[in-house]
A = this chain, B = another copy of it.
């Protein structure tokens, strides 16, 4: 059995608590001989800043490059609101994405039947919802230069951010979306603001060209990002796979996650290109939720998003889809039994701490 090298980066806030449940799961899988994982641990975000004055150390970047996959918790919190821009907690995450070339961010938004009532939307609008948002993650306004604040004198400053996209960046993310659609309901909706942004014009043109050349069998639809956002709220079930840029993807995937009522349950995967020789790809897995500093350290956090993120690692990095399916089934069974962390509690449910939820899922496995 191949041994896989994982780098665990718990980060800040509830990150370490939910990561503890991944460690528990890894220990159990190794112990049972169901898989073989070797883990290292590192610091990222505010935790790294407190230790090294940087949002991730060079040593941890090296470990990240050497790992088969990175399991990431969450970063940030009010404690670090005042730190310099360059070393703010988020910078560690952005550096990992950029330096490892993790251009494809997969964010499933799934409404778990047991949790449909937790949504702020009507049950019939979200029940059975299953959208995959494919967000470009290493380009756009996140990384474009210039990105500056200049003092103009007279008490005036000027801030500049730059959105840049090249053809190849749009092509490769479009392919990820079309490939995923083929394994799902065969439909891709591409979103941009081509009526206002030149990057939207190019985005639209390139996605259309990739479709015409390579994916004629998949249905392609274009929506402006603003009306796409409207449709997400009004008719979310019209979507299968949504492909969009870094900034629109940030907003739209958060909104989609919120629709499901299951924010504490939703995983994400950030993938690099497949290496032509090794057939491997770099990958980082993290929950969609943030570091939730308000509930950190209290054992209240829901570990399921972190565990399903690890499940995505099983699927996308280690070809252990069957094991990932078992994990999903165990989670569904535990939810059906009525066990709930505070974020998803319902009438008549049994309250569970982070650790109790993790234990119950392993027991079910």
- Which chain A residues have a beta carbon within 8 Å of chain B's beta carbons? 76, 85, 88, 90, 94, 120-122, 125, 141-142, 144, 147-149, 152, 155-168, 193, 195-199, 201-203, 225-227, 229-230, 233-235, 247-248, 250-251, 254-255, 257-259, 263, 290
Task: Find out whether the CB atom of B162 lies under 8 angstroms from the CB atom of A163.
Answer: yes
Task: Find out whether the CB atom of A197 lies under 8 angstroms from the CB atom of B161.
Answer: yes
In the complex, given contacts A141-B141, A193-B247, A233-B255, what are 16 additional A-B residue pairs having Cβ atoms less than 8 angstroms apart?
A: A90-B196, A120-B235, A141-B196, A147-B197, A147-B198, A155-B167, A158-B164, A159-B163, A160-B162, A160-B163, A160-B164, A161-B199, A196-B250, A229-B229, A230-B254, A248-B251
Task: Across the interface, name the chain B residue whose C-beta is closest to A196.
Answer: B142
Closest 9 A/B residue pairs (Cβ): A159-B202, A159-B199, A161-B163, A90-B195, A226-B254, A233-B258, A230-B258, A156-B167, A159-B198
Task: Find out whether the CB atom of B202 lies under 8 angstroms from the CB atom of A225.
Answer: no
- Bound: A14/B196 CA distance, A: 22
Integer count of this chain's copies in the complex: 2
Task: Find out whether the CB atom of A149 lies under 8 angstroms from the CB atom of B233.
Answer: no
Task: From B160, B165, B255, give the contact of A255 (CB < 8 A).
Answer: B255
Task: Find out whether the CB atom of A149 lies under 8 angstroms from the CB atom of B259.
Answer: no
Task: Find out whether the CB atom of A148 lies under 8 angstroms from the CB atom of B198.
Answer: yes
- Bound: A149/B125 CA distance, A: 40
Q: Which of A161, A230, A233, A258 has the most CB of B within 10 A?
A: A161
Q: Which of A142, A255, A263 has the most CB of B within 10 A?
A: A255
Task: Find out whether the CB atom of A161 lies under 8 angstroms from the CB atom of B162.
Answer: yes
Task: Find out whether the CB atom of B156 lies under 8 angstroms from the CB atom of A198.
Answer: no
When distances are taken between beta carbons in the complex, the residues of chain B under 8 Å from A88 are: 195
When distances are taken between beta carbons in the complex, the residues of chain B under 8 Å from A163 are: 141, 159-163
Task: Find out whether the CB atom of A201 lies under 8 angstroms from the CB atom of B120.
Answer: no
- Bound: A165/B257 CA distance, A: 30
Task: Find out whether the CB atom of B120 lies under 8 angstroms from the CB atom of A157.
Answer: no
Min CB gap A304→B, angstroms: 18
Task: Across the interface, name the chain B residue whose C-beta is closest to A123.
Answer: B122
When distances are taken between beta carbons in the complex, the residues of chain B under 8 Å from A250 are: 193, 196, 226
Given A161-B198, A196-B142, is A255 in contact with B229 using a C-beta cutoff of 8 Å? Answer: yes
- Bound: A225/B248 CA distance, A: 11
When distances are taken between beta carbons in the complex, the residues of chain B under 8 Å from A125 are: 120
When distances are taken between beta carbons in the complex, the residues of chain B under 8 Å from A235 are: 120
- Bound: A258/B233 CA distance, A: 7
When distances are taken between beta carbons in the complex, the residues of chain B under 8 Å from A157 are: 166-167, 202
Task: Find out whether the CB atom of B226 lies under 8 angstroms from the CB atom of A251.
Answer: yes
Task: Find out whether the CB atom of B94 lies under 8 angstroms from the CB atom of A196.
Answer: yes
When distances are taken between beta carbons in the complex, the residues of chain B under 8 Å from A199 are: 159-161
- Bound: A232/B254 CA distance, A: 11
Given A258-B233, A258-B234, is A168 in contact with B156 using a C-beta cutoff of 8 Å? Answer: yes
Task: Find out whether the CB atom of B201 lies under 8 angstroms from the CB atom of A230.
Answer: no
Min CB gap A91→B, angstroms: 9
Min CB gap A220→B, angstroms: 15
When distances are taken between beta carbons in the complex, the residues of chain B under 8 Å from A121 are: 120-122, 233
